[in-house]
Amino acid sequence: MKPSLFEYSAPSSVAEAIEALSGDPGAMILAGGQSLVPAMNLRLASPTRLVDLRNVSGLGETVIEDGIIRVGAMVRHRDIELNDAVHQANPLIREAMKYVAHVPIRNRGTVVGSLCHADAAAEMPLVLLVTGGSVTAEGPGGRRDIAAADFFQFHMTTTRAADELIVHANIPGLPKGAGYAFEEFSRRHGDYAIAAVAVIVQRGSDGTVDAASVGACGVGSKPVRLSAVEEAITGTKMSADDIKTAAQSSQDYVSAPDDMHATTAYRRHLLVNLVRRALSSAEQTPAS
Ligand SMILES: Cc1cc2nc3c(=O)[nH]c(=O)nc-3n(C[C@H](O)[C@H](O)[C@H](O)COP(=O)(O)OP(=O)(O)OC[C@H]3O[C@@H](n4cnc5c(N)ncnc54)[C@H](O)[C@@H]3O)c2cc1C
């Protein structure tokens, strides 16, 4: 398989990249190429121009400031997976990253590329959603922040405008002492999730849950917050019965139709069990 013909630009600044995007409505950004290049080879994507970010300065940095982890557009999955400062600030990221493809793919694929690709079963969009993070887009009109809840629209569709570049993702650190967990089921290690669940819980000194953020991917057309689960577990002491009841309320969030991987009924069963496991393990894994 080979791609259709395309032009190639290798800008050296964000301004040049935006100019290249603005000048060609069929242009697409190339980051790590781990999703786009296979899609081009299969002719699922046929950009008229590739705008390669490899030479753009300033996009390869990860900075932690005021509790927010700012991940530049060319930061690879593996860079933040192995970054101990990132792990200290938000240990959920490393938990989730173990499920993202395989090491060679994580060596090339970027975090921001994964967010922009917006596969409904991808792990990093879910992490951005449950942590209440955002992305920063830059286009001809300047910069804007887009909250994760507003960014992911549908499978492989975001609210980024065609002439905008996502310059960085903003992932909040976890609140001190919060419990966290990431649970996933896929057919083979490294495959996209059939369903995955991320949990963050904050508990008071007597063990009562003060706040919970719970989300899932793979169960619909975009990652979703399981607000019924969040409400059900908040105010409880996370007993086995509390967790079981809260997990049960997740099944209505499955909107994916039957497909070659799983039926809707199976995904419901899976989601309830993944939520139960994630809440149980978050109860036992407070952040350092
Ligand atoms: C065999 C295999 C298994 C995989 N398994 C998983 C998995 O289990 N979970 C998972 O999450 N991913 C998986 N992936 C995908 C991998 O994580 C990709 O690296 C990631 O999805 C895209 O990152 P990239 O840097 O390679 O982006 P690219 O492929 O370069 O780009 C992806 C899309 O994002 C756009 N884009 C990239 N950067 C920007 C930007 N800064 N601004 C605006 N648009 C941008 C591109 O135009 C393109 O549309 C797998 C890939 C392979 C090949």
**Across-strand partners of 202?**
211
Instruction: Collect all residues with Cβ–Cβ distance below 8 Å to 146 and sequence separation of at least 6.
Output: 134, 135, 136, 137, 159, 160
From the CA of 190, give the closest atom in ligand 1. Answer: 8
Domain 179-284 coded CATH 3.30.565.10: no
Where does the pLDDT of residue 285 fall: very low under 50, low under 70, confident under 90, or very high at 90 and above?
Answer: confident
- What residue spans define the domains of the chain? 7-52, 62-172, 179-284
User: Phi/psi zone of residue 103: left (φ > 0), alpha (ψ -120 to 50 degrees), beta?
Assistant: alpha
Fold (topology level) of 7-52: 3.30.43
Residue nearest to atom 3 of ligand 1 (CA): 101
Please tell me if the domain spanning 7-52 has the same topology as the one spanning 62-172.
no
- If you take atom 50 of ligand 1, which residue's CA is the nearest one? 101
Eight-class DSSP state of 252: G
Q: How far is the CA of 38 from the centre of ligand 1 (A)?
A: 10
62-172: CATH topology: 3.30.465
Query: Helices 264-284 and 240-248, interaxial angle, to 10°?
Result: 150
| CA 16 to ligand 1 center in whole angstroms | 22
User: Quick one: pLDDT at residue 287?
Assistant: 56
Question: Buried b / exposed e across 15-44, counting CB within 10 Å, b at 16+?
Answer: eebbbbbeebeebbbbbbbbbbeebbeeee
The encoded tokens of residue 42 equal 């299969």
pTM of the model: 0.97
pLDDT in tens, 30-79: 999 999 999 999 999 999 999 999 999 999 999 999 999 999 999 999 99
pLDDT, tens digit, 9 for 90 and up, residues 77-119: 999 999 999 999 999 999 999 999 999 999 999 999 999 999 9
Who lines ligand 1 at CB under 6 A? 28-36, 38, 73, 100-101, 105, 109-110, 112-114, 116-117, 119, 122-124, 160, 165-166, 190-192
